[in-house]
Structures are given as structure tokens and as C-alpha cells.
């Protein structure tokens, strides 16, 4: 059985190829049952084990097993840790991949895929809200599909923001300016793309800050009880999700305003498969504000895993 470390997993999934792999996956007939979420005893009451399977039309598949332990950072460990097991079409376990890296890679790639339909083609200023491990991957992904020339990073802890900014600088083109922001409001007001990747349970993004034409990318929360954007964001935006099944079960940024009657179900215009299959229109003009809410889907894990395993085979 093939077993790949974090570095080996990352090296076999260059972002442009990964984005295209996701596009092809959403064009195909992959099956992804709703994830199973189990509470884990001990420590923080929010500790979770999540199982996420997916299969392509041939029966080949992958399952990601991940833990979400909010108390881990205090002990120097990542909040999210995972592995991905890849199966052949005959059900044989073929590979084990570093699932933490797969999650970060495919989350960025999914947002970039959405951006290719929903952001302005000349988007040059990316604002990232959140300084966790996902932030550099969001930067790489958005830079892969739009001519980003400035990345503004917003975080609560200056030292963490500085370290994350340095990590982003090491990964993006040297022509891209990366700065740490003093004011999230000012940064967002000047942004073409705003990507929120936080663990905040309450909104960090206000709709009143958004300029016309902004693309809003929400990837941090995946619980009905948590939100990254306030009501004004969803009211001002054309709304899209990664999958209806996931969003309508877990996306607090959508479910909470729906439950309170702030928006109705028709305001959620489409999912990623609708965009890639051209069943719904993406951005239609330069002034509209568009929003993509992602909670993650095993279809993305499967697409990433297939690319990574194929890359490993090519390097033998």
C-alpha cells in the first residue's frame, strides 16, 4: 500500500492541476453520502470525529477521517488532523494520504474554482481574514486563478499574522505584495476578493464594508451554530455553495438567516456542479457582490486523492 507523508502529498498536487481536477469531478457523477459527525469525549466539548466517503462512477473511492479538536492549539497541535484512505474500483485499499494537507489543498482549490466563475477576472486585491494553517493555501489558490498583486492579511494576534504573512510570501510570486492589516474594515472596503478562514463562532465580516463587485469566500465555519458573515453580507450577495447537501445541513452562514427569514431558499442560486455545468450563471456584471459558502465535500477529497495517487505513480 502506498503511504505518503504531508510533504509527499503536497508535492503531488500543484494547485492549477488540483483546481482542474475538482472541476472535472463536479462535471462527473461522483457520489458523496452526507458526512458522519461524532462527538469525541474528553477535553473541549466541541471535539469531533468526521467520516467523509466519496465514490466515482467506477466504484473507486476515498474516505477521509478527520478530527476537529479546538483545544489542540493550546498544546501546540493543529485543530484539524486527518488521513485519507484511497480504494480501487474493486474495493482494495491502495493508498493512505496525509488528510490534513489534502483538506487544506482541496479547500483552497474549491474556493478558487468558485472564484473562476464568481469573481471579476481582473481581481487584484485579496483580503484573507484568519491567520491559521489554511490561510497560505487560500492565498496560493486564489493567486492561481486571478491576477492577484496584493494580499492583505487580517488577524487578531499580530505575531501570528506576521508569521502567516511570511509563510504566504514564501509561496506566492515575488511580485505579490503581502501585508498585515491594522483595520479589517479598511482592508475589506478596498478588496476585490475577501476570503474568511477563521474559527470564529460569530461574524467577523460586515456587509456594510463590502464594495460593489466584491467576491466573498467563506470557508472557516462548518456548523449550523457558527457564522463568519453578518446578515448584511448575505442580503447584499448572490449566494452559491459547494453542495446543497452540505450547506443545508451545516452552513450557519446560510442556515441562520434562512431560519430567521432574513433570506429565503431561492436566494441560494446554485452549487459548484451547477456553475461548472453552466446550469446557472456565475458573475453577470462588475458591480454585483457574489458569495461562495463552503463546508467541504468528499467529492473534493476524492478528486485530490486521485490526482495525488496518479502523481505518485508517475514519479515511480
Residue-by-residue pLDDT tens, the chain, 316 positions: 899 999 999 999 999 999 999 999 999 989 998 889 899 998 777 899 999 999 999 999 999 999 989 888 888 888 889 999 999 999 999 999 999 999 999 999 999 999 999 999 999 999 999 998 899 999 999 999 999 999 999 998 888 999 999 999 999 999 999 999 999 999 999 999 999 999 888 999 999 999 999 999 999 987 888 999 999 999 999 999 999 999 999 899 999 999 999 999 999 999 999 999 999 999 999 999 999 999 999 999 999 999 999 876 555 5
Domain of residue 292, CATH code: 3.40.50.720
Residues 149 and 291 reside in one and the same domain: yes
Q: Give a yes or no: residue 148 inside a domain.
A: yes
Domain around 26: 2-102+299-314
Residues 130 and 251 in one domain: yes
Query: How many domains does the chain contain in total?
Result: 2
210 located within any domain = yes
Inside any domain, residue 114 = no
- Domain-embedded: residue 111: no
Say which residues have a Cβ less than 8 Å from residue 152's Cβ, sequence separation at least 6.
125, 126, 127, 128, 179, 180, 181, 187, 190, 191
Residue 199: per-residue pLDDT: 83
107 belongs to a structural domain: no
Residues 150 and 66 reside in one and the same domain = no
Give all strands of the β-sheet with 150-154 in edge-to-edge order: 177-180, 150-154, 125-129, 193-196, 215-218, 289-293, 237-241, 268-271
157 and 290 inside one domain: yes
In a domain, 221, yes or no: yes
- Does residue 110 sit within a domain? no
Indicate if 173 and 232 belong to the same structural domain.
Answer: yes
Q: Are residues 186 and 278 in the same domain?
A: yes
Closest by Cα among 205, 27, 38, 9 to 96: 9
List the CATH number of the domain containing 68: 3.30.1780.10
Record the pTM.
0.93
Q: Are residues 157 and 233 in the same domain?
A: yes
151 and 234 part of one domain:
yes
Q: Residue 180, Cβ neighbours under 10 Å: how many? A: 18
User: Do 93 and 129 sit in the same domain of this protein?
Assistant: no
Distance between CA atoms of 179 and 172, rounded to whole angstroms?
A: 13
Residues 307 and 292 in one domain: no
Is residue 168 within 8 A of residue 136, CB to CB? The reply is yes
Q: Is residue 209 part of a domain?
A: yes
Task: Determine which helix (DSSP H) or strand (DSSP E) holds 151, and give its type and residue range.
Answer: strand 150-154
Label residues 63-91 b or e (16+ Cβ within 10 Å = b): bbbbbbbeebeeeeeebbbbbbbbbeeee
173 and 305 within one domain: no
- 56 plus 161 within the same structural domain: no
Amino acid at each position: 500500500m502506498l503511504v505518503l507523508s504531508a510533504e509527499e502529498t503536497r508535492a503531488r498536487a500543484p494547485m492549477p492541476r488540483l483546481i482542474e481536477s475538482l472541476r472535472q469531478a463536479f462535471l462527473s457523477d461522483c457520489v458523496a453520502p452526507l458526512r458522519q459527525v461524532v462527538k469525541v469525549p474528553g477535553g473541549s466539548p466541541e471535539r469531533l470525529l468526521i467520516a467523509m466517503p466519496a465514490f466515482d462512477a467506477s466504484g473507486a473511492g476515498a474516505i477521509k477521517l478527520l478530527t476537529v479538536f479546538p483545544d489542540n492549539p493550546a498544546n501546540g497541535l493543529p485543530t484539524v488532523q486527518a488521513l485519507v484512505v484511497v480504494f480501487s474500483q474493486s474495493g482494495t485499499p491502495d493508498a493512505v494520504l496525509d488528510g490534513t494537507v489534502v483538506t487544506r489543498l482541496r479547500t483552497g482549490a474549491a474556493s478558487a474554482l468558485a472564484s473562476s466563475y464568481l469573481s471579476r477576472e481582473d481581481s487584484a486585491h485579496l483580503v484573507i481574514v484568519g491567520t491559521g494553517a489554511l490561510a497560505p493555501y487560500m492565498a496560493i489558490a486564489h493567486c492561481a486563478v486571478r491576477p492577484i498583486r496584493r494580499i492583505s492579511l487580517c488577524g487578531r494576534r499580530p505575531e501570528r499574522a506576521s508569521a502567516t504573512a511570511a509563510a504566504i510570501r514564501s509561496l506566492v510570486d515575488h511580485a505579490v505584495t503581502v501585508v498585515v492589516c491594522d483595520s479589517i474594515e479598511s482592508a475589506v472596503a478596498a478588496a476585490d476578493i475577501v476570503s474568511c478562514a477563521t474559527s470564529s463562532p460569530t461574524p467577523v465580516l460586515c456587509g456594510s464594508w463590502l464594495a460593489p463587485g466584491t467576491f466573498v469566500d467563506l470557508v472557516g465555519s462548518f456548523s449550523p451554530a457558527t457564522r463568519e458573515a453578518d446578515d448584511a453580507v448575505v442580503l447584499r450577495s448572490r449566494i452559491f455553495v459547494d453542495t446543497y447537501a452540505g450547506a443545508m445541513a451545516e452552513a450557519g452562514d446560510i442556515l441562520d438567516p434562512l431560519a430567521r427569514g432574513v433570506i429565503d431558499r431561492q436566494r441560494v442560486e446554485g452549487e459548484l456542479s451547477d456553475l461548472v455545468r453552466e446550469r446557472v450563471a456565475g458573475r453577470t456584471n462588475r458591480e454585483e457582490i457574489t458569495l461562495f459558502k463552503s463546508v467541504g465535500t468528499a467529492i473534493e477529497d476524492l478528486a485530490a486523492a486521485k490526482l495525488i495517487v496518479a502523481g505518485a505513480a508517475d514519479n515511480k
